[in-house]
């Protein structure tokens, strides 16, 4: 069963992360399904990225990373996961159509990159963004260094990660990480779809192409992947994952 659902109707592609029992945590299977779904797109006029369940995504599946590291396959698995995430981010960023993201609950770790690749973001009032890299020990991935500093400033992005600060939906709106906050972000998405249906696709496409530096983004994401893989089997990360997973059991 696929962990990503794709529905295409009347020029609108609805792409849904569908692993709610694991808070849509990113593992190799989900990312493979996501990239396969992106390969099946039929030149949509608009793509909506959303997720089922309470949370958009809690980022990388730490329990699975811990299992792979314990089995001696951590680096290989990290290459596959972060590489798959990077491919999805680049594909979303390079689509000629507008990408709209609908976010609820937690948006943490590398999952942020999927939303940073969107053009318009609507968040539920209870949604939040948080890195967790300094807590678990991972190197930042998912655009936390490759995309976020350009959006909100390098000093602010660095402080958020060093202190593991939680960004509320209202703060995300102020920072420009979201364009709308609503009790029902689906209503906002519907309004944006109505507006975009009346706009000229070629004009939307050229606007995206001229405002996204894909070669620079690919280089920066590659650097994140290399750093993530280099750290994944260190004692720091092993201990950090163990403490993090223990804290979840005690919560």
Per-residue pLDDT tens over the stretch 112-156: 999 999 999 999 999 999 999 999 999 999 999 999 999 999 999
Residue in 22, 16, 94 with CA at minimum distance from that of residue 60: 22
Domains of the chain, start order:
4-250 (3.90.226.10)
pLDDT for the residue numbered 100: 98
pLDDT for the residue numbered 245: 95
In angstroms, rounded to a whole number, what is the distance separating the alpha carbons of residues 53 and 196?
27
Per-residue pLDDT tens over the stretch 73-103: 999 999 999 999 999 999 999 999 999 999 9
Q: Transcribe 105-156 into DSSP letters.
A: SEEEGGGHHHHHTSSEEEEETT-EEE--HHHH-PPP-TTTTTTHHHHH-HHH
The mean pLDDT value for 161-169 works out to 98
pLDDT for the residue numbered 224: 98
Ramachandran sector of residue 206 (left: φ over 0; alpha: ψ -120 to 50; beta: rest): alpha
State if pTM tops 0.85.
yes
pLDDT for the residue numbered 165: 98
DSSP for residue 232: T
pLDDT for the residue numbered 1: 80
φ, ψ for residue 103 (rounded to 5)? -120, 130
pLDDT for the residue numbered 250: 66
Residue in 181, 153, 166 with CA at minimum distance from that of residue 106: 166
pLDDT for the residue numbered 251: 59
Window from 26-40, 181-195, 212-226, 236-250 with minimum mean pLDDT:
236-250
DSSP for residue 34: H
Share of the chain above pLDDT 70, in %: 99
**Is residue 46 scored above 70 in pLDDT?**
yes
The mean pLDDT of the chain is 97
In angstroms, rounded to a whole number, what is the distance separating the alpha carbons of residues 80 and 47?
25
**Is residue 217 scored above 80 in pLDDT?**
yes
């Amino acid at each position: 069963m696929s962990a990503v659902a794709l529905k295409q109707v009347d020029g609108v592609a609805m792409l849904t992360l569908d692993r709610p029992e694991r808070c849509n945590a990113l593992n190799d299977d989900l990312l493979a399904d996501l990239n396969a779904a992106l390969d099946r797109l039929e030149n949509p006029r608009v793509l909506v990225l959303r997720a089922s369940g309470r949370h958009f995504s809690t980022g990388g599946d730490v329990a699975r990373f811990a299992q792979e590291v314990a089995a001696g396959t951590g680096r290989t698995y990290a290459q596959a996961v972060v590489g798959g995430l990077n491919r999805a981010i680049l594909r979303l960023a390079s689509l000629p159509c507008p990408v709209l993201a609908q976010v609820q609950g937690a948006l943490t770790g590398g999952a942020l990159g999927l939303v940073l690749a969107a053009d318009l973001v609507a968040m539920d009032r209870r949604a939040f963004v948080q890195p967790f890299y300094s807590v678990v020990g991972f190197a930042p991935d998912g655009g936390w260094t490759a995309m976020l500093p350009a959006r909100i400033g390098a000093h602010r992005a660095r402080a958020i990660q060093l202190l593991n600060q939680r960004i509320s939906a209202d703060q995300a709106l102020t920072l420009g990480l979201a364009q709308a906050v609503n009790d029902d972000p689906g209503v906002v998405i519907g309004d944006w779809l109505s507006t975009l249906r009346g706009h000229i696709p070629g004009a939307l496409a050229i606007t995206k192409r001229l405002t996204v530096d894909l070669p620079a983004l690919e280089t920066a994401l590659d650097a994140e992947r290399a750093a993530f893989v280099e750290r994944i089997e260190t004692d720091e990360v092993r201990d950090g994952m163990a403490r993090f997973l223990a804290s979840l059991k005690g919560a």
